[in-house]
Amino acid sequence: MSRAARLFSLLQALRRHASPVTASALAAELEVSERTIYRDIAALIAQGAAIHGEAGIGYVLRPGFFLPPLMFTEDELEAVVLGLCYVHQRGDATLSKAAAEAHAKLRAVLPREAREVLENPIALPGPPGRPFPDNAVELAVLRAAIRARTKLRIAYTDGSGAGSERVVWPLALGFMNDARILVAWCEARGEYRHFRTDRIASAADTGARYPGPRVALLRAWRAYMKLDATGRFAPDSS
């Protein structure tokens, strides 16, 4: 293993541990000596890695530290590029623009040999498919409420054409094959529901924050839907 690859593997190992991990544990995981770990930790800190700790106690990588894009493997970069292409095709205007900007940022910082993967990827997305139905409410309104953890009062029409007004706790947006879905807790039903965004006639922010952290509610939603951590789902419309 080259030194660069070893340093990258060490960073990855530190990222996997939320609590301090000892040099001996890292050495066993990477199959190197403790002396090598101490030397590599010092080298990474000198290069700006936010590693805290000391010999005999343990080391931890501060949350929020990002590996530079040039450390992507070819397969990882292929995955990122394919994902950005899909988002550019199927995202709303905000996400489509963000995907294009992220692609441009990657191109600006990647070394020349890595840009070949970016510009001529092996994995290509298929045709865009049918466009999503038009929304009466901008997704930016839903996104803002999700981030602010505020309740929304929505006017909704279900699949049978029946209309209703509900107060919901917006948690996430799902991009399905044929429609976009708002994942939310519905106060009227007292359970998690999925609302097609093209059937939401209006959405008004109540200004009231819903109780509990969003991450906990999402975790409960995943358990309710019997999902794994990736959030894969195929809900029926409400």
Q: What angle do CA 141, 144, 148 make, to 5 degrees?
A: 140
Beta-carbon contacts of 230 under 8 Å, excluding residues fewer than 6 positions away, are none
Query: Is 176's pLDDT higher than 80?
Result: yes
The token pair at 72 is 């992507």
pLDDT band, very low/low/confident/very high, at 69 (cuts 50, 70, 90): very low
| Class of domain 3-61 as given by CATH | mainly alpha
Cα–Cα dist 34/14, whole Å: 15
Quick: pLDDT tens for 85-117. Answer: 989 888 888 999 999 988 887 887 777 777 788
The neighbour count for residue 225, using CB atoms within 10 Å, is 15
Quick: pLDDT tens for 11-23. Answer: 888 888 878 899 9
Quick: pLDDT tens for 182-234. Answer: 999 999 999 999 999 999 999 999 999 999 899 999 999 999 888 865 555 54
217-223: which pairs have CB atoms within 8 A and are 24 or more residues apart? 217/169, 217/171, 217/185, 218/171, 218/172, 220/192, 221/171, 221/183, 221/185, 221/192
pLDDT at 231: 54
The token pair at 75 is 């397969």
* Sequence spans of domains, the chain: 3-61, 69-119, 139-225
Q: Which amino acid is at 89?
A: Q
The token pair at 205 is 């922010």
- Decide which of 1.20.1300, 2.30.30, 1.10.3210, 2.60.120 is the CATH code for 139-225: 2.30.30
The number of angstroms, rounded, from the C-alpha of 237 to the middle of its chain's C-alpha atoms is 24
Beta-carbon contacts of 226 under 8 Å, excluding residues fewer than 6 positions away, are none
Quick: pLDDT tens for 128-175. Answer: 777 888 888 999 999 999 999 999 999 999 989 999 999 999 999 998
The answer to whether residues 171 and 154 touch, using CB atoms and an 8 Å cutoff, is no
The residue among 181, 184, 185 whose CA lies nearest residue 197 is: 181
pLDDT at 192: 96
The token pair at 125 is 């997305």
Beta-carbon contacts of 38 under 8 Å, excluding residues fewer than 6 positions away, are 23, 55
Model-level pTM? 0.65
